[in-house]
Chains A and B, each alone.
Chain A
Amino acid sequence: MAYKTIIGLEIHVELLTKTKIFCGCLAEFGREANTNCCPVCLGLPGALPVLNKKVVEYCIRAGLALNCKISNRSRMDRKNYFYPDLVKGYQITQYSNPLCKDGYIKINTKHGEKKIRIKRIHIEEDTGKSIYDGNGNVLLDYNRSGVPLIEIVTYPDMNSPEEARMFLEKLKVILKYIEISDCKMEEGSLRCDININVIDEKTKLKSTITEIKNLNSFKAAVKAMEFEEKRHIELLKHRENTLKETRKWDENKNETVVMRGKETVEDYRYFPEPDLVEIEVDENWIRDIKENLPELPDNRKERFMREYNLPEYDAAVLTSSKELANFFEKTVKINKNPKQVSNWIMGNILRWINASDMDINEMKFTHKDFANLLELINNGKISNNIGKKVLKIMFEEGKNPEAIIEERGLLQISDVSELECIIDRIIEENKQSVEEYKNGKEKVLGFLIGQVMKITKGKANPQLVNRIILEKLKQ
């Protein structure tokens, strides 16, 4: 029996504004509890919200980057519910008139390019943070109360956990490119809720959609989706069904567990927010924001292929983060060999960075040092292999390549007489091998070159060694 999985996502993204959405309190993660609070974000009686213009701009920026239509008229609404982390008894959000609608992201699946449609993007305020102290008390910190969020809602266009992962990765790259969020899942600045169900392709029977929350990494999201996918299919197979409920991912049990039954939409009693006025976005404002958008990852990838003649794979990897793409371009400005730069970045630097879980801009050396190193290789001052060793030292210790080469005596030996001297010695010491070579066993050549490299600790110029040995063996 074949089942098709249907996944839709709701992603909350904290914006990188300095202040909160409705008041001038600092909107920064990690401050001491309840030190970034005022009457507005504490929901004290009589306090009135005033909308932060930058929040509107950032949302429109996201909308444009995600191919949305921008609403010319928009407004805020009240969503009513009681929860200790929600100070006013309602959240100010957008319901019927979101700022952005009908966009999409393209992902590259194994079946080719696929458009994942975005239903809407709206702005809203974050809630405070509840900490359960284990003695039946809830400790409340309202620093996060009123931090601006955008909520991005997709259509259920993803048909596997893998597609959802690709969508999330791509979304994160774009949001980071346009600098509206740092998208740190572990700090909660990017949070993802998943709606998932499956359909039996033969009988067209569908399981009921369940929602999964509490996912703090893409990895957890994928695991949770895979778990739910199986659970839904198993239930359908046994002629049972899932319940309309919210579940959360339990990292320790490696499974989803029930959080609560789902409240129906009507329970929130949305109505237009009376404390705020209408938002009107005219074409000039949109054009202004559009003109200030940076080059987006897909465009940059295509430009890299065109301008630097890179294969699509290289271009995709190099543009997967703005910082990485900048590092590449700055290096190429000095070293005019893009494919070499790309190979060295992908084959070495990226591997080390990923292994130590760091960012490219946290590296201890600059693009200048890196370009310098490549020049030293291209000028024959050091060999490729020594170059790799030097780069590793640069990565670990952060010195410039010349200093490392000087300090460790790694300069390539290109002095013919010096090399001849060494090679004479090798030939003298390996008479039997030389004899074998002369009898047609050509593999021995590699062994002899290896001996030269061993003695010179890899510093001998390989082309020269090759040439000289061949000359000597012919004698």
Chain B
Amino acid sequence: MKISQKEIKHIAKLAKLEIDENDVEKFTNQLTAILELVEKLNEVDTEGIEPTYNIYHSKNFFREDIIKPSLEREKALSNAEETTEGHFVLKI
């Protein structure tokens, strides 16, 4: 499967990655190579086999609706660059 340069730019935009115009071709080739490698899996006959979404063969792992203590506000905000009145501040 060949990926286009346009798609590379689109994916970069969605991932909020800034990429250099000179690198677009390089990334296009690299991603195409990766996709081609993964495409090999299509050669395996998976007729009648359900997709594996998860390698843990477990289901219905739940918690009960019981309150646990939250972080102290100071701690919750400790990674924020700036705070005001208990809020995270984002400059735009």
Contacts and interface: CB of A to CB of B under 8 A. Distances in A.
B63 A33 contact: no
Nearest to B82: A137
A107 B10 CA distance: 44
A19 B68 contact: yes
A279 B60 contact: yes
A18 B84 contact: no
Interface stretch (A37-45, A369-377, A421-429): A37-45
B88 A51 contact: no
A138 interface: yes
Contacts of B59: 277-280
B67 A18 contact: yes
Interface string B55-87: 010111111111111110100110100001111
Interface stretch (A225-233, A267-275, A293-301): A267-275
B6 interface: no
B67 A26 contact: yes
Given A33-B87, A137-B89, A137-B91, A52 B70 contact: no
B63 A26 contact: no
Nearest to A282: B60
A77 to B, nearest CB: 9
A141 to B, nearest CB: 6
Contact of B73 (A34, A56, A138, A280): A34
Contacts of A23: 68
Contact of A19 (B14, B66, B89): B66
Contact of B68 (A25, A142, A272, A278): A25
B54 A17 contact: no
A138 B90 CA distance: 5
Nearest to B65: A54
A389 interface: no
Nearest to A33: B86
Interface in B24-70: 53-54, 56, 58-70
A135 to B, nearest CB: 9
Contacts of B71: 37-39, 42
Interface size for chain A: under 10, 10 to 19, 20 to 34, or 35 or more residues? Answer: 35 or more
Nearest to A267: B14
Contacts of B64: 52-54
Given A23-B68, A38-B71, A140 B62 contact: no
A277 B61 contact: yes
Nearest to A44: B79
Given A136-B91, A277-B54, A36 B70 contact: yes
B67 A272 contact: no
Given A34-B87, A42-B76, A51 B61 contact: yes
A141 B54 contact: no
Nearest to B74: A34
Contact of A277 (B56, B77, B87): B56
B87 A131 contact: yes
Interface in A271-318: 272, 274, 276-280
A18 B53 contact: no
B64 to A, nearest CB: 6
Given A34-B87, A137-B91, A17 B65 contact: yes
A52 B54 CA distance: 19
A71 interface: no
Interface string A2-20: 0000000000000001110
Contacts of B65: 17-19, 52-54
Nearest to B14: A267
A82 B16 contact: yes
A24 interface: yes
Nearest to A77: B53
A138 B89 contact: yes
Contacts of B60: 277-280
28 contacts: A18-B65, A19-B67, A19-B68, A24-B68, A25-B67, A35-B86, A37-B73, A38-B68, A38-B70, A38-B76, A42-B76, A51-B61, A51-B63, A53-B62, A53-B65, A54-B65, A56-B62, A137-B89, A138-B90, A138-B92, A139-B84, A139-B85, A139-B88, A139-B89, A140-B89, A272-B54, A277-B60, A279-B60
Interface of B: 14, 16, 53-54, 56, 58-71, 73, 76-77, 79, 84-92
Interface of A: 17-19, 23-26, 32-39, 42, 44, 50-54, 56, 75, 80, 82, 84, 131, 136-142, 267, 269, 272, 274, 276-280
